[in-house]
Amino acid sequence: MFKIQTLNNISVTGLNRLPRERYEIASELAHPDAILVRSAKLHELPIPPSLKAVGRAGAGVNNIPVDALSAKGIAVFNTPGANANAVKELVLAGMLLAARNIAQSWQFARNLTGDDAALNQAVEAGKKQFVGFELPGRTLGVIGLGAIGVLVANAARALGMRVIGYDPSITVRSAWQLESQVEAALSVDDLVTRSDFISFHVPLTEQTRHMIHAERLRVMRDGAVLLNFSRAGIIDDHAAVEALNSGKLYAYICDFPSNLLKDHPRVVTLPHLGASTHEAEENCAVMVADQVRAYLEDGSVHNS
């Protein structure tokens, strides 16, 4: 029996579905063996001397002081892949949202008032104002071909899109488990010049911060759409706003709240909902608890 402390908003629902004889969930624990978190920032907390492992119920580890913990011999686990389907589905929704002007036309429709004649007139105006476009034949560029990027790439192929992918750290096509018709881009520059939609699935690092900057926005296809369901900071938002204002960029779907972006008519911001499905929360909670349990029991590491 291990005591596991959950901080902040990890899905305790998910953990509660585990056999309770294996775990005890303590809300306050003076000497935890392990701490599991979803979004809580561990940088801000003292590291308890008893700590042996930290688990992050999610893919990214920006909220975990990995180097400081590793220096003390504390193991860090994350859950790559456990929420990949949830993120993929929201990316697909984001593409359709942009292509069919759903956010803008929804705003338009909810502000309508008047009798049937007035509403019919508004319907005609709306049909003209919100003409969209279809996905087959359009090109999706996927940057980052880990668990999520691969699912997004294959799903877009199934929708009839042309897909090109780029991943700086993986060069072996078979390792990507990609549809055979997913084409490899030579570089980020190569990908951005050839894509109608670009979806980002890389962690935020010094190498990826502002990966999309003014220069790259200038060489994008006219009317391109950016989808950032990864981390804020990967796109230079000031440059993106300029590109939206000039019409170079058609839309920007961003899974982060942002004061700069929230009122722009061609931007949709979300409160980081990519992984927020019941299924993904449960998958992440179970995976991270199992990994930490195995590590505490016999030192084995299952961080796949």
Binding site for ligand MLT (CB under 6 A): 38-39, 58-60, 83, 272, 275
- Tell me the HSE value of 264 on the side-chain side, using a 13 A CA sphere: 25
Give the strands of the sheet with 2-7, arranged side by side: 23-26, 2-7, 34-37, 53-56, 75-77
Least distance CB 38 / ligand MLT (angstroms): 5
- The 10 Å Cβ neighbour count of residue 80 is 15
CB of 134 to ligand MLT, least distance (A): 30
Decide whether 59 or 212 has the Cβ nearer to ligand MLT: 59
**Of 244 and 287, CB closest to ligand MLT:** 287
Contact 139, 95 (CB under 8 A): no
> What are the C-alpha distances in Å from 270 to residues 33, 233, 262?
35, 15, 9
> Considering beta carbons, is residue 82 or 192 the nearer one to ligand MLT?
82
Q: Taking the complex as a whole, how short is the minimal distance between the CB of residue 285 and ligand MLT, in angstroms?
A: 11
Q: Taking the complex as a whole, how short is the minimal distance between the CB of residue 104 and ligand MLT, in angstroms?
A: 26
What minimum distance in Å lies between the beta carbon of 136 and ligand MLT? 30
Cβ-Cβ contacts under 8 Å for 157 (sequence gap 6 or more): 163, 179, 181, 182
84 closest CA partner among 299, 287, 297: 287
Which is it for the CA torsion 83, 85, 91, 94, positive or negative? negative
Nearer to ligand MLT, 210 or 272 (CB): 272
In the complex, least distance from residue 284 CB atom to ligand MLT, rounded to whole angstroms: 7
DSSP 6: E
Of 226 and 284, nearer to ligand MLT (C-beta) is 284
**How many whole angstroms separate alpha carbon 273 and alpha carbon 90?**
8
Dihedral sign computed on CA atoms, order 143, 201, 81, 43 = positive
Cβ-based nearer residue to ligand MLT, 79 or 154? 79
Distance from the first to the final alpha carbon of the chain:
24
Nearer to ligand MLT, 38 or 221 (CB): 38
In the complex, least distance from residue 88 CB atom to ligand MLT, rounded to whole angstroms: 12
3-state class of 144 per DSSP?
A: coil
